[in-house]
Chain A
Amino acid sequence: MVARMKILIIEDDLEAAAYLAKAFREAGIVSDHASDGESGLFMASENSYDVLVVDRMLPRRDGLSVITELRRKEIHTPVLILSALGQVDDRVTGLRAGGDDYLPKPYAFNELLARVEVLGRRKGTPEQDMVYRVGDLELDRLSHSVRRQGKEIPLQPREFRLLEYLMKNAGQVVTRTMLLENVWDYHFDPQTNVIDVHVSRLRSKIEKDFEVPLLRTVRGAGYMIKDDRAPA
Chain B
Amino acid sequence: MSKLRVLFRTTAVRLSALYLILFSLCAAFLVFYVTGMSERLLQQQTRDSITAEVTQIEQVYTRAGMNGLLRSLERRARQPGANLYVIAGPSGEILAGNVQSLEPGLLDSEGWTERPFAYQRYTDETKDDSHVALAHVLVLDNGLRILVGRDLQEPQKFRALVRQALMVALGVMGLGALVIWFGIGRNALKRIDRMSEASTKIMAGDLSQRLPMSGSGDEFDRLSESLNAMLGRIEKLNEGLRQVSDNIAHDLKTPLTRLRNKAEAALARKGTSQRGALEEIIGESDQLIRTFNALLMISRVEAGSSAAEMSDIDLSQIVADCVELYEPVAEDVGLKLEAEVAQSIVIAGNRELVGQALGNLIDNAIKYAEGAGNPLIRVSLEKQDTHVVLAVADHGSGIPQAMHDEVVKRFVRLDESRSKPGTGLGLSLVEAVMEMHHGSLRLADTVPSASEGGKGLTVQMVFPVTTT
Residues of A within 8 A of B (CB): 86-89, 92, 104, 106, 108, 158, 184, 186-194, 197-198, 201, 220
Residue in B closest to A195 when the chains form the complex, CB atoms? B325
Is B289 positioned at the interface, with any CB of A under 8 Å from its CB?
A: yes
Tell me which of A88, A106, A158, A198 contacts B309 (CB under 8 A): A88
Tell me which of B279, B355, B363 contacts A191 (CB under 8 A): B363
Residue in B closest to A190 when the chains form the complex, CB atoms? B359
Query: Is A188's CB under 8 angstroms from B359's CB?
Result: yes
Contacts of B422 in A (CB 8 A): 191
Question: Given contacts A186-B352, A194-B329, are A89 and B309 in contact (CB under 8 A)?
Answer: yes
Within the assembled complex, what's the spacing in Å between the Cα atoms of A183 and B73?
Answer: 133
Chain A contact surface mostly: loop
Within the assembled complex, what's the spacing in Å between the Cα atoms of A2 and B332?
Answer: 41
Query: Is B359's CB under 8 angstroms from A191's CB?
Result: yes
Question: Can you show 11 pairs from A to B with CB atoms below 8 A apart?
Answer: A88-B297, A88-B301, A89-B309, A104-B293, A186-B321, A186-B355, A190-B363, A191-B359, A194-B325, A194-B329, A197-B329
Q: Which 8 pairs from chain A and chain B are nearest by CB?
A: A188-B356, A197-B328, A191-B363, A88-B308, A89-B309, A197-B329, A186-B355, A194-B329
Residues of B in contact (CB 8 Å), total: 35
Total cross-chain contacts (CB, 8 A) = 71
Query: Is A193's CB under 8 angstroms from B329's CB?
Result: yes
Which of A106, A192, A193, A198 gathers most chain B CB within 10 Å? A192
Is B397 positioned at the interface, with any CB of A under 8 Å from its CB?
A: no
Contacts of A87 in B (CB 8 A): 300, 304, 307
Residue in A closest to B422 when the chains form the complex, CB atoms? A191
Residues of B within 8 A of A (CB): 279, 282, 286, 289-290, 293-294, 296-297, 300-301, 304, 307-309, 321, 324-326, 328-329, 332, 350-353, 355-356, 359-360, 363, 366-367, 422, 426
A96 to chain B, nearest CB (A): 10
Contacts of B328 in A (CB 8 A): 194, 197-198, 201
Within the assembled complex, what's the spacing in Å between the Cα atoms of A104 and B360?
Answer: 20
B337 to chain A, nearest CB (A): 11
Within the assembled complex, what's the spacing in Å between the Cα atoms of A38 and B359?
Answer: 41
Within the assembled complex, what's the spacing in Å between the Cα atoms of A220 and B296?
Answer: 25
Residue in A closest to B423 when the chains form the complex, CB atoms? A191
Contacts of A89 in B (CB 8 A): 307-309
Query: Is A188's CB under 8 angstroms from B426's CB?
Result: no
Query: Is B355's CB under 8 angstroms from A192's CB?
Result: no
Within the assembled complex, what's the spacing in Å between the Cα atoms of A59 and B353?
Answer: 31
Within the assembled complex, what's the spacing in Å between the Cα atoms of A186 and B307?
Answer: 20
Within the assembled complex, what's the spacing in Å between the Cα atoms of A189 and B358?
Answer: 11
Residue in A closest to B309 when the chains form the complex, CB atoms? A89
Contacts of A188 in B (CB 8 A): 352-353, 355-356, 359
Residue in B closest to A107 when the chains form the complex, CB atoms? B289
Question: Given contacts A87-B300, A88-B350, A201-B328, are A191 and B282 in contact (CB under 8 A)?
Answer: no
Residue in A closest to B290 when the chains form the complex, CB atoms? A189
Query: Is B352's CB under 8 angstroms from A192's CB?
Result: no
Residue in B closest to A91 when the chains form the complex, CB atoms? B352
Within the assembled complex, what's the spacing in Å between the Cα atoms of A193 and B296?
Answer: 22
Within the assembled complex, what's the spacing in Å between the Cα atoms of A91 and B41?
Answer: 91
Residue in A closest to B296 when the chains form the complex, CB atoms? A86
Contacts of A187 in B (CB 8 A): 352
A91 to chain B, nearest CB (A): 8
B428 to chain A, nearest CB (A): 14
Contacts of A88 in B (CB 8 A): 297, 300-301, 304, 307-309, 350, 352-353
